[in-house]
Amino acid sequence: MLDHVVAVLEELGLQYAIGGSVAAMAYGDPRGTMDADIVVRLRLGDLPAFLSRFPSPEYYVDAATVRRAVLDRTQFNIVHATSAWKADIYLDGDYISTQQLARPRRMETDKGYHANFSPPEELIIKKMEAYAQLGSEKHLSDIVTMLTKSGDQIDTKRVEMLAAEEGLAHVWQAILVRIKRG
């Protein structure tokens, strides 16, 4: 389903960046997931064309929820009914999400098509935010793997600066300690 969502976003000319575990796997190691996080610049005027590309009963997406998310700059879900695969759509609105859209990396997916991915620095910040909110170790593990596998592609000085600006310096320090320990 990710390929369909990407095709719709590109067809409609919407700015987007794949984030979450799908992007973490692109910079790190593969692992199982049944969803994708995608940051999108979506406006009210885009909704009729956007929603028409996800028809019921093949997809579940609640138009009222989408409209509210666009107005509030929050998030909504699109679920593929047959596979239960889910796209978590996050609307841009904060500094990090706008940077994800401003600095995407065009990469090939595991299915062989090209898509916009969150830059690793902002992805790391989003994963650190999720860890700080939820305490899930998978976010720290993803970050460590990304830094281990793709460290030469990641501007760690930028991560350090963004972490300090976002109040996450303590999480960044904990990640550096984990990497040092091996």
Mean of pLDDT over the chain: 95
Provide the residue range defining the domain that includes 51.
2-181
51-107 per-position pLDDT tens digit: 999 999 999 999 999 999 999 999 999 999 999 999 999 999 999 999 999 999 999
Distance of CA 27 to the CA centre of its chain: 13
Contacts of 50 (CB under 8 A, 6+ apart): 8, 12, 14, 42, 66
CATH of the domain at 143: 3.30.460.40
DSSP assignment string, 19-48? EHHHHHHHHS-----SEEEEEE---GGGHH
Q: What local confidence, expressed as pLDDT, does residue 79 receive?
A: 97
Q: What is the mean pLDDT of residues 108-129?
A: 94
The total number of structural domains that make up the chain: 1
